[in-house]
Amino acid sequence: MEGNLMINNLWMIMATILVFIMHIGFATLESGLTRQKNTINILYKNSIIPSIGILTYALIGYNIMHAEDVKGLFKLGVYFPEGDGFETVDGQYTYYTHFIFQAMFAATSATIVSGGVAERIKLKPFLLFSTLYIGLCFPIIARWKWGGGFMDNWDTPFYDFAGSTLLHSAGGWAALVGAILVGPRLGRFYQGKVRAFPGHNIPLATLGVFLLWFGWFGFNGGSLGSAEPGQLSRIFVTTAVGAASASIGAHFTSYVTFRTFDITMVLNGILAGLVSITAGADVMNVWQAALVGLVAGVMVVFGVILMDKIKVDDPVGVVPVHLMSGIWGTLAVGIIGEKAGWNQLVSQILGVLIVGGFCLVFSWVAFYTIKKTFGLRVPEDVEKQGLDIHEHSMHAYPYFGKRE
DSSP conformation letters of 287-304 = HHHHHHHHHHHHHHHHHH
**pLDDT of the residue at 282:** 96
**pLDDT of the residue at 73:** 63
244, 293 Cβ separation under 8 angstroms: yes
Residue 27 lies in a domain: yes
H or E, element range at 94: strand 93-94
C-alpha 363/C-alpha 110 separation (Å) is: 11
286, 277 Cβ separation under 8 angstroms: no
Q: Is 136 helix (H, G, I), strand (E, B) or coil?
A: helix
Residue 398 lies in a domain: no
Q: What is the pLDDT of residues 126-144, one digit of tens each?
A: 999 999 999 999 999 999 9
Residue 272 lies in a domain: yes
C-alpha 181/C-alpha 301 separation (Å) is: 24
Residue 314: half-sphere exposure toward Cβ, Cα within 13 Å: 29
Percentage of residues in the chain having pLDDT higher than 90 = 86
Residue 399 lies in a domain: no
C-alpha torsion angle, residues 121, 139, 229, 25 (rounded to 10) = 10
Residue 195 lies in a domain: yes
**pLDDT of the residue at 3:** 66
Residue 397 lies in a domain: no
Q: What is the pTM of this model?
A: 0.95
C-alpha 378/C-alpha 374 separation (Å) is: 11
By C-alpha distance, which of 45, 186, 44, 170 is closest to 109? 170
Least confident range from 1-15, 106-120, 220-234, 356-370: namely 1-15
Residue 400 lies in a domain: no
**pLDDT of the residue at 404:** 47
Kindly report each contact of residues 388-396 with a partner whose C-beta sits within 8 Å and lies 24 or more positions away, as own/partner. 388/37, 388/38, 388/39, 388/40, 388/41, 389/37, 391/41, 391/122, 391/123, 392/40, 392/41, 392/44, 394/40, 395/37, 395/40, 396/31, 396/36, 396/39, 396/40, 396/43
Q: Rounded to an integer, what is the distance from CA 361 to the centroid of its chain?
A: 19
- Secondary structure E strands in 109-266: 189-190, 193-194
How many Å from the N-terminal Cα to the C-terminal Cα in the chain?
Answer: 63
With bands split at pLDDT 50, 70 and 90, how would you rate the model's confidence at 83? low
**pLDDT of the residue at 168:** 96
Average of per-residue pLDDT across 326-342: 97
**pLDDT of the residue at 78:** 78
The total domain count for the chain is 1
Residue 304: half-sphere exposure toward Cβ, Cα within 13 Å: 23
Domain that holds residue 36: 2-392
Average pLDDT over the chain, rounded to an integer: 93
Please give the radius of gyration of the chain, using alpha carbons only, rounded to the nearest integer.
21
Kindly report the CATH number assigned to the domain that includes residue 15.
Answer: 1.10.3430.10
| DSSP letter (8 states) at residue 1 | -
With bands split at pLDDT 50, 70 and 90, how would you rate the model's confidence at 70? low
